[in-house]
Every structure is written in structure tokens, then in C-alpha cells.
């Protein structure tokens, strides 16, 4: 006969919901946010101020933010957690040093972050924020969560002061598009500028003017046209042989421009490379692709899909149409702004093409991190000669990227031996080792770019001096004239486009010169 012991009832831990951001608090509350590039955060601040919110973007996370993150965060977290959590605590302590009481900070400030799912620890960020804030003495500080899935639902109450309507999303999307375009055109021009610092100075002026236009809700097109003039006035020499290097990997690591990625973009440029970055708009397109892919698969299930994201009681054809329209609208608006500002020849990625390229090696059903995109991007970078070298950067121990994608990439590099691929894991304190590895691989990329350039000269039957004399950089900036793509290296593409580009540029130069003469008279 068995004796049943009295069972002790245990309460399981749960993360309590934060105090809500109600409508009555809107005028007295400042929303803190951050985590994208410098341009994105600054422009988003202007856009949100323009629709009535008190907002402030945080500075780019640095080594001091990492120290705070490790001091107050849980052990075993990845770099993005430490950097972003620590950056918030660092900012709150700076507010306290400026004379604000902790009660004032807790009551009149809040932080907005995004959530995720899958194997990535990113899904637990919001809990990490709250835990670290409690330990740092800011218990009760509000951290609100946006989910990347299901239309960016907000974890707040019905009477939230955050009104997620069409105006909100349109303003946010405009800021994201323009932030992407400014970054892309900056990385395109800066390696070839003849006056050091001219590109960054033009970018700063453009960001300031666009921030003010978004904040005051003025027309953006006149400001974008002014930015076009700023960029077209920068003198460049695109005959300089520079390897093009693509940065892919975990979203935060490849996006941030500070200590979290060892200032990777700046380091590559300082070593003589042209950097090819990933746009935030591409991530939005991936989320739309994800919705279309899942909807199409669920349409052919045997029974009714009654799961959380299922199709029971819904019209899947209508959903697919809406997602198709969203995809096309984003692409059209992005290209509209890009053409106005002078970013020609850039195409947003074809998500179906990336998925198809990766599917044989990385099942499209697997999610977490960048999903199959890391594998697909490397394959297309090689097959389509997009870049000379690909760097995949991610936090140390990142399960989706380091544990899965990089394992598959080793097979991809065996299948495509011409690929120059370098996986990098960041810990926050290993910059010297990372820089050394990049320099070794960059030497190969420089050789590949040099080979492309001289092969192009041979095919066109011209010399390097003839090319430089024809494309006289002293006349102005010809980087805004689109190049037909044939090689990875920009200088090689300049050679292949030499005849057309010289004719177009000479016409454009004479037109601008004549217009200036008329204006002066």
C-alpha cells in the first residue's frame, strides 16, 4: 500500500505586464527607442515627433553599454542583448546624473523594443530588459514590446497612447526607406570620394534637413532633390580598384555601426573596400514573404488549420492579395524615393529567388535569425557576381547563424570554390582577432577585384590612363549615373560601361554647365 504524500503547491515564475502607456500619459511621457543605424534612428525620431509623440533615440551602443549589460543582465546572453540592454541603463543613468529623479524617469519615460520567436534568444529580450532594470534600481520602468510577426501587434492595452494606424506606419516606413537610401548611397560614394569627409558632411546635412521635414510634416520631395544636389557635387574617382564586400548575418550585428560589430563597416572602408550593406526594407520584405509562404502551405493541409496563425474562418486568397499588394507598394515607394535622391541601379532583393537558391541546402520552413537568407545571399553573391567577398557577422554562440547557417556555408564554399567567405563571431572584446582575419581574406578579395578590372580593360581594348582621362573626376560626380552590372568590382563595371558612361556624363556635364551659365547671367 502506497502512501500519497501531500504535494506542495508551487507558484511558477511569470513576467508581469508593465504599466500601460495610456492616452492620458501621452503628453508627459517620452518614448525611448534605438537599435538600427544612426540614420534610421534619427529619421524615425523626426517621423514620430511629426505625429505628436515625445520621442528620443538612444545613441549607438558602445563598450560602456556592454559593461552595463554584463553587470545587470543574465549570464549566457548574446551580444545584442548585452549592448542594447546596457545602452538603455546607461542612458537612464545619464538622465539621473542630469538631475532627474528615478521616480521621474520611471514615471515619465518608457522604452519600445521588438520581439521575435524561434530559436533566437532575441525572443526573450523584453524579459532581459525588465530584469536588468530592476537590478539597476529602475523597477517599474515600462518596456513595451512590438512583435515582428502578425502585423506588429503591440503588447499594450486597448486604450494605448500608441495609435497604430495607417498614418503611424506610413511615417515609419518613409523614415526607414529614406534611412536605407541614405546609407546605401553613402557606402556607394564614400570609397571613391576625392575629398576625404565630403560624403559624410553631405550625409549629415541631408539627415538634418530630412529630420526637420519629417518632424514638421513638410513635403519630402524638395528636400530629397536638394540631397541629390549635395551628392552629385561630390567629386569621385570610380576607377580606383576596390573589392566589394557584402555584410550579412544576424540582423542587429550586421546593422549596428558601433562597438557591437567592431565598427566593421568603417574598418572595411579604411582597408580599401567598398561595403555592400543589407537594408532594413529587405527585412520587411522577408516578413511579407514569410506570410505568403506560410499561407500558401496552409491552404493545402488536409484538414482546417485552426492554429494560432491558421486559416480557419479566413479567406487565404484575400490574405495573399493583401501581402502581394504590400510587397509591390513597398518596392515602388522605395524606388520612387531612391530615384529622386539619385540612387540608381539598386534593386531590392527578390525573396523568392533567395528562398529558391537556399532551399536545397536550408529548408525554407526553418526560422529564427535570418532564416534561409544567409545561405541564399551567399550563393547569389557568387553566382551573380554581386560582390568579391562576403562577411557573415553574428554574436558569439548565435544558434540560428553560427550553429546552423555557418555549418551549411562550409558546404556552399566547397561547391563554389571561387567564393571568398568569412564568418565572424563577436564577443565585444575581440576586435584585434577579427580585424586580423578580415585583413587576410580581404587580400584575396583585392586580388579578385584587380583581376576583374584588368580583364575588363583587356576586353574593352583600352588602357587605365585612357579610362582616367576620359572620366575626368574634376568635372563632378558620375557615381549617380547607373552602371550595367557585369562584374563585382565597381571599377571593372566602369570599364565595361565606359563608352555609354562617358557619353552620358559628357552630356550631363555640358547640360549642368550651360544651366549654371544661364543662371549667372
Cα–Cα distance, 510 to 23 (Å, whole number)? 58
Over residues 121-144, the mean pLDDT reads: 83
C-alpha cell at 468: 582616367
Residue 309 DSSP label:
T
Give the Cα separation of 348 and 371 in Å (integer). 18
In the chain, pLDDT over 70 holds for what percent of residues? 84
Q: How far apart are CA 470 and CA 490, in angstroms?
A: 17
- For 244, the grid coordinates are 566589394
d(CA 172, CA 156): 19
pLDDT at 480: 54
Instruction: Decide: helix, strand or coil at residue 200.
Output: helix
Q: Are 243 and 450 within 8 A, CB to CB?
A: no
| C-alpha cell recorded at residue 17 | 505586464
- Band (pLDDT 50/70/90 cuts) for residue 25 is confident
- Asked if residue 210 lies in contact with residue 220, where contact means CB atoms within 8 angstroms, the answer is yes
Q: How confident is the model at residue 78 (pLDDT cuts 50, 70, 90)?
A: confident
Q: Tens digit of pLDDT for each residue in 449-496?
A: 999 999 999 998 888 888 877 776 545 554 555 678 899 999 999 988
**Residue 460: how many CB atoms within 10 A of its CB?**
15
Q: Which three cell numbers stand for residue 288?
A: 511579407
The pLDDT tens digits of the residues spanning 80-127 come to 889 999 999 999 999 999 999 999 999 999 998 876 555 566 666 777
Category of 156 on φ-ψ map: left (φ > 0), alpha (ψ -120 to 50) or beta = beta
What letter would DSSP give residue 437?
H
Predicted confidence band of residue 150 (pLDDT cuts 50, 70, 90): very low
- pLDDT score for 357: 95
Integer CA distances (angstroms), 316 to 152, 295, 298, 323, 367, in order: 19, 7, 9, 11, 22
Rounded to whole angstroms, the Cα distance separating 49 from 172 reads 11
Do residues 31 and 53 touch, judged by C-beta distance below 8 A?
yes
User: For the chain, give me the number of helices (H) and strands (E)?
Assistant: 19, 8
* pLDDT (0 to 100) of residue 465: 84
Q: Which grid coordinates belong to 97?
A: 546624473
Ramachandran sector of residue 313 (left: φ over 0; alpha: ψ -120 to 50; beta: rest):
left
pLDDT digits (tens, 9 = 90+) for 196-209: 999 999 999 999 99
Cell of 250: 544576424
Using an 8 Å Cβ cutoff, are 387 and 244 in contact? yes
Amino acid at each position: 500500500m502506497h502512501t500519497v504524500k501531500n504535494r506542495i503547491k508551487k507558484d511558477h515564475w511569470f513576467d508581469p505586464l508593465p504599466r500601460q502607456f495610456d492616452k492620458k500619459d501621452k503628453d508627459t511621457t517620452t518614448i525611448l527607442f534605438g537599435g538600427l543605424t544612426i540614420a534610421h534612428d534619427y529619421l524615425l525620431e523626426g517621423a514620430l515627433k511629426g505625429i505628436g509623440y515625445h520621442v528620443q533615440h538612444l545613441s549607438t551602443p558602445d563598450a560602456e553599454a556592454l559593461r552595463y549589460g554584463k553587470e545587470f543582465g543574465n549570464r549566457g546572453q548574446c551580444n545584442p542583448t548585452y549592448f542594447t540592454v546596457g545602452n538603455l541603463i546607461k542612458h537612464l543613468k545619464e538622465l539621473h546624473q542630469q538631475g532627474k529623479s528615478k521616480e521621474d524617469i520611471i514615471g515619465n519615460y518608457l522604452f519600445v523594443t521588438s520581439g521575435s520567436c524561434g530559436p533566437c534568444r532575441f525572443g526573450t529580450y523584453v524579459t532581459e530588459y525588465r530584469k536588468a532594470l530592476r537590478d539597476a534600481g529602475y523597477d517599474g520602468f515600462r518596456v513595451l514590446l512590438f512583435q515582428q510577426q502578425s502585423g506588429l501587434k503591440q503588447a499594450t492595452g486597448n486604450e494605448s497612447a500608441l495609435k497604430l494606424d495607417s498614418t503611424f506606419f506610413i511615417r515609419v516606413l518613409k523614415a526607414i526607406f529614406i534611412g536605407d537610401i541614405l546609407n546605401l548611397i553613402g557606402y556607394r560614394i564614400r570609397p571613391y570620394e576625392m575629398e576625404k569627409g565630403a560624403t559624410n558632411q553631405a550625409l549629415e546635412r541631408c539627415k538634418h534637413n530630412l529630420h526637420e521635414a519629417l518632424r514638421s510634416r513638410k513635403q519630402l520631395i524638395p528636400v530629397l532633390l536638394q540631397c541629390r544636389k549635395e551628392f552629385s557635387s561630390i567629386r569621385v574617382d570610380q576607377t580606383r580598384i576596390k573589392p566589394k564586400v557584402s555584410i550579412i548575418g544576424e540582423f542587429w550585428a550586421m546593422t549596428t555601426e558601433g562597438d557591437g560589430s567592431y565598427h566593421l563597416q568603417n574598418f572595411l572602408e579604411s582597408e580599401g573596400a567598398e561595403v555592400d550593406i543589407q537594408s532594413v526594407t529587405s527585412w520587411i520584405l522577408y516578413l511579407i514573404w514569410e506570410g505568403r509562404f506560410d499561407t500558401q502551405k496552409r491552404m493545402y493541409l488536409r484538414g482546417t488549420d485552426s492554429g494560432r496563425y491558421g486559416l480557419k474562418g479566413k479567406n487565404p486568397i484575400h490574405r495573399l492579395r493583401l501581402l502581394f499588394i504590400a510587397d509591390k507598394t513597398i518596392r515602388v515607394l522605395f524606388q520612387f524615393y531612391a530615384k529622386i535622391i539619385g540612387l540608381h541601379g539598386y534593386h531590392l532583393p527578390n525573396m523568392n529567388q533567395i528562398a529558391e537558391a537556399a532551399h536545397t541546402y536550408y529548408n525554407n520552413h526553418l526560422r529564427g535569425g535570418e532564416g534561409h537568407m544567409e545561405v541564399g545571399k551567399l550563393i547569389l553573391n557568387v553566382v551573380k557576381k554581386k560582390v568579391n567577398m562576403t562577411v557573415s557577422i553574428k554574436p558569439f554562440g548565435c544558434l540560428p547563424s553560427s550553429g546552423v547557417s555557418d555549418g551549411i556555408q562550409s558546404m556552399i564554399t566547397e561547391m563554389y570554390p571561387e567564393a571568398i567567405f568569412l564568418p565572424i563571431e563577436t564577443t565585444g572584446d575581440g576586435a584585434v582577432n577579427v580585424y586580423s582575419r578580415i585583413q587576410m581574406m580581404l587580400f584575396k578579395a583585392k586580388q579578385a577585384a584587380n583581376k576583374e578590372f584588368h580583364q575588363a580593360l583587356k576586353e574593352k581594348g583600352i588602357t587605365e590612363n585612357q579610362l582616367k582621362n576620359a572620366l575626368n573626376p574634376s568635372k563632378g560626380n558620375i557615381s549617380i549615373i547607373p552602371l550595367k552590372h557585369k562584374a563585382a568590382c565597381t571599377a571593372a563595371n566602369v570599364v565595361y560601361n565606359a563608352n555609354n558612361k562617358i557619353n552620358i556624363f559628357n552630356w550631363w556635364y555640358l547640360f549642368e554647365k550651360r544651366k549654371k551659365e544661364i543662371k549667372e547671367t
